[in-house]
C-alpha cells in the first residue's frame, strides 16, 4: 500500500516538473517580444508614413523634372569715350627741340648746368648722368625727371629749372588776309585782333565763315566757325574768342571770288548767243 502511494506521488511530481519546463519554453520574454514586434512591423504601416513617403517621392520627382534657372547674364556696356570740348586745352608750356634751360642745385652747386640745349631728338645731356629724354614735358615734369636722375647718387636733391630760350606763344593767320603768316602773341589776343595784326580781310574774304583750328590734345583738333561779319554788324564781340598759343585762323574765299577773272573766249560762246 505504501509503495503504491509513493509511486503515485513520484509520478505526479514528474508531471508537474515537465509541465513547468514546457510552460517556460512556450512563454516569450519581454525583450524578445519587443524585438519580434519591431522586426515584423512593416516600414510603411499607417497612413502617416505612406504620406511622408509619397511627399518625398513627389518632391524628388519635381526637383528632377524642373530645369534649373539659367545664370544671369551680365550686361557689358562700353565705356563712354570722352570727347574733348573746344577750349579745354592745357596751357602749360611743353619742352621742345631747340629750347635751352638752366639746372640749379640748391645744396649741390657743383652739379649746376647752364644753357642745357634740347637736341632735335628730344634728349639732353646731364652732367654725371648722361642723356635723358625731356621733350614734351612741362617744367614741373622736367624738374621731377632731373631730380629722379640725380637721386641715384644724391640724397633728395633740390632742383630748380629756369627756361632760357623757348618757343614763344604764337598764332597762325592764313587765307584771305593781307599778310598771312605766323605771329607772336604778346599778351591776350582775340580773333578780330589777330586778323587786324595780319593786315585785315582782303576783298575776296568771306567774313562770315572764319575757321578757328585749335589742337585740344595729341589726338584731337577742334574746328569752330566764327561769323566775324555778324559780330561787326551787331557791334557784339561776345563771340570774339581769346586765342591760345598754337591756334590757327583760316579765312576762306567768298563765292564770287572763286570765279576766274579771265575766261577764255571759246567758253563765252556757249553762253552768249551769236547774232545772225
Are 120 and 161 contained in the same domain? yes
pLDDT above 70 (res 156)? yes
Mean pLDDT of 42-53: 41
Q: Of 149, 165, 181, at which residue does a domain stop?
A: 165
Residue 69 lies in a domain: no
Residue 78 lies in a domain: no
Please report which helix (H) or strand (E) contains residue 61, including its range: helix 47-65
Predicted structure pTM score: 0.51
User: By three-state DSSP, how is residue 174 classified?
Assistant: strand
Are 247 and 183 contained in the same domain? yes
So what's the pLDDT on residue 62? 41
Backbone angles phi, psi at 81, to 5 degrees: -85, 120
234 CB-near residues (< 8 Å, 6+ apart): none
| Cα–Cα nearest to 222, from 241, 240, 242, 248 | 248
| Cα–Cα nearest to 229, from 249, 255, 201 | 201
Segment 81-106, tens digit of pLDDT: 454 445 545 568 889 999 999 999 99
160: CATH: 3.30.1950.10
How many folded domains does the chain comprise? Answer: 2
Residue 93 lies in a domain: no
Residue 200 lies in a domain: yes
- Poorest-pLDDT segment among 33-42, 122-131, 205-214, 237-246: 33-42
So what's the pLDDT on residue 189? 92
Count of all residues that appear for the chain in the document: 276
Are 159 and 176 contained in the same domain? no
pLDDT above 70 (res 18)? no
Q: What are 138's three cell numbers?
A: 612741362
CA 29 – CA 21 distance, rounded (Å): 15
Q: What are 183's three cell numbers?
A: 605771329
Segment 106-127, tens digit of pLDDT: 999 999 999 999 999 999 999 9
Residue 217 lies in a domain: yes
Are 137 and 176 contained in the same domain? no
Residue 124 lies in a domain: yes
So what's the pLDDT on residue 217? 74
Q: Of 131, 165, 199, at which residue does a domain stop?
A: 165
Q: Hey, which of 51-60, 65-74, 81-90, 176-185 has the most confident mean pLDDT?
A: 176-185
Are 245 and 214 contained in the same domain? yes
Cβ(251)–Cβ(210) below 8 Å: yes
Please report which helix (H) or strand (E) contains residue 116, including its range: strand 113-117
Mean pLDDT of all residues belonging to the chain: 75
Segment 248-263, tens digit of pLDDT: 999 999 876 665 555 5
Backbone angles phi, psi at 205, to 5 degrees: -80, 150
Are 156 and 192 contained in the same domain? no
Backbone angles phi, psi at 209, to 5 degrees: -135, 50
Residue 8 lies in a domain: no
For 122, the domain range is 100-165
% of the chain with per-residue pLDDT over 70: 59
Are 220 and 175 contained in the same domain? yes
Are 116 and 160 contained in the same domain? yes
pLDDT above 80 (res 48)? no
Q: Of 139, 165, 191, at which residue does a domain stop?
A: 165
Are 178 and 248 contained in the same domain? yes
CA 97 – CA 134 distance, rounded (Å): 9
CA 185 – CA 175 distance, rounded (Å): 19
Task: Calculate the CA dihedral of residues 91, 93, 97, 100 and round it to 10 degrees.
Answer: 160
Cβ(122)–Cβ(134) below 8 Å: yes
Residue 10 lies in a domain: no
Cβ(196)–Cβ(179) below 8 Å: no
Do strands 248-251 and 170-175 pair parallel, antiparallel, or not at all (unpaired)? Answer: parallel
Strand partners, 57: none
222: CATH: 3.10.560.10
Amino acid at each position: 500500500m505504501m509503495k503504491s502511494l509513493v509511486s503515485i506521488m513520484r509520478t505526479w511530481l514528474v508531471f508537474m516538473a515537465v509541465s513547468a519546463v514546457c510552460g517556460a519554453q512556450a512563454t516569450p520574454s519581454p525583450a524578445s517580444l519587443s524585438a519580434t514586434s519591431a522586426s515584423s512591423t512593416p516600414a510603411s504601416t499607417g497612413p502617416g508614413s505612406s504620406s511622408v513617403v509619397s511627399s518625398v517621392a513627389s518632391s524628388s520627382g519635381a526637383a528632377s523634372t524642373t530645369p534649373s534657372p539659367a545664370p544671369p547674364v551680365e550686361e557689358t556696356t562700353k565705356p563712354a569715350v570722352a570727347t574733348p570740348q573746344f577750349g579745354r586745352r592745357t596751357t602749360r608750356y611743353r619742352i621742345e627741340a631747340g629750347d635751352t634751360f638752366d639746372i640749379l642745385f640748391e645744396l649741390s652747386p657743383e652739379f649746376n648746368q647752364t644753357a642745357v640745349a634740347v637736341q632735335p631728338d628730344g634728349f639732353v645731356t646731364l652732367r654725371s648722368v648722361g642723356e635723358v629724354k625731356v621733350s614734351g614735358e612741362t617744367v614741373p615734369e622736367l624738374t621731377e625727371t632731373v631730380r629722379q636722375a640725380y637721386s641715384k647718387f644724391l640724397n633728395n636733391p633740390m632742383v630748380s629749372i629756369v627756361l632760357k630760350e623757348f618757343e614763344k606763344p604764337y598764332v597762325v593767320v592764313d587765307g584771305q588776309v593781307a599778310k598771312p603768316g605766323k605771329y607772336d602773341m604778346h599778351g591776350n589776343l582775340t580773333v578780330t585782333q589777330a586778323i587786324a595784326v595780319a593786315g585785315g580781310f582782303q576783298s575776296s574774304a568771306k567774313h562770315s565763315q572764319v575757321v578757328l583750328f585749335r589742337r585740344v590734345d595729341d589726338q584731337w583738333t577742334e574746328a569752330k566757325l566764327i561769323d566775324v561779319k555778324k559780330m561787326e554788324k551787331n557791334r557784339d564781340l561776345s563771340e570774339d574768342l581769346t586765342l591760345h598759343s598754337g591756334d590757327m585762323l583760316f579765312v576762306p574765299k567768298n563765292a564770287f571770288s572763286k570765279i576766274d577773272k579771265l575766261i577764255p573766249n571759246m567758253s563765252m560762246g556757249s553762253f552768249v548767243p551769236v547774232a545772225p
